[in-house]
Structure formats: C-alpha cells, structure tokens
Structure 1
Amino acid sequence: MEFDSTTTAIAFVALIAIGVGGLLVSGVMATGTVLMMVLPAMVVFGLLCLAIGTQYGQHRTSGR
C-alpha cells in the first residue's frame, strides 16, 4: 500500500480521534484532562513517530 500525504494525514487524524474519543466516552479521566493533556501528547508523540518512520523508510529505500 502506498501512502501519500493525504492518506497519511487522514490515518493520523482518525487514529488520534479514535483514541481521544475512546477516553472521553469511557469516563476514565475528566474531559479537561483528556483535551488539555492527553490530546496534545498524543499529537506530539504521533508526529515524532511519523518523522522517525519516514526517515527509516527513506533509509530503507535508498539502497544503502
């Protein structure tokens, strides 16, 4: 499967929305805590993993 920028952005937003939505619906944490602490942390961690994965993929396809 080939990912372009649009597909990657949709998958990223969907994954974050499912995670945050699950936390909000389950009632494990207060809504304010989820939106002010968990959501930004998930976005930053996701972007960090995306950047590392992209660099790794470029390294793998470069032929070394």
Structure 2
Amino acid sequence: MEFDLAKTVLVFAALVAVGTAALVGAPIPMTSSTILMMVTPSMIVFGAICLALGVKHGEYRTAR
C-alpha cells in the first residue's frame, strides 16, 4: 500500500481521534476539557514529529 498525503493525513487524524475518544471515555480522574486542551494537542505535536522523522528515515533508506 502506497501512502500519499491524503491517506497519511486521514490515518493520522483517525489515530488521534481514537486516542482522544478512548481517553474521554476512560474512567480516569481527568476532565474532558483537560484532555481536549492539553493532551490532544500534545498527541498531535508528538505524532507530527514522529511522522516527520519517519518520512526522513524512509527517504534516507531509499537513497542508500
């Protein structure tokens, strides 16, 4: 399966949405506003950094 930009963004958004929904639905002592205002943005930033590193590593591997 080849990933283009649209598929990558769709999978990334789905992962963040599933993670956020699981945290909101979990019986943990954290309010939904805390999850939506602090946890979800950090999930997005961390995921974007990991995605960028993965893409660069893939480019390095194919160029070798």
Alignment TM class, shorter chain as reference: over 0.9
TM-score, with length taken from structure 2: 0.93
Residue in 1 that maps onto 2:26: 26
Q: Could you list the runs of 5+ residues in structure 1 that have no partner in the other structure? A: none
Deviations 1:7-46 (A, max 9, x none): 0000000000000000011141211110111001000000
Q: What is the aligned-residue RMSD (CA, Å)?
A: 0.8
The number of equivalent residue pairs is 63
> Which amino acid in 1 is paired with 2:14?
A
Q: What residue ranges of structure 2 are gaps of 5+ in the alignment?
A: none
- 4+ long deviations beyond 2 Å: none
Report the CA distance between 1:53 and its aligned residue.
Answer: 0.2
Alignment of 1:1-64 (within 5 A): 1-28=1-28, 29-62=30-63, 64=64
Q: How many percent identity over aligned positions?
A: 48
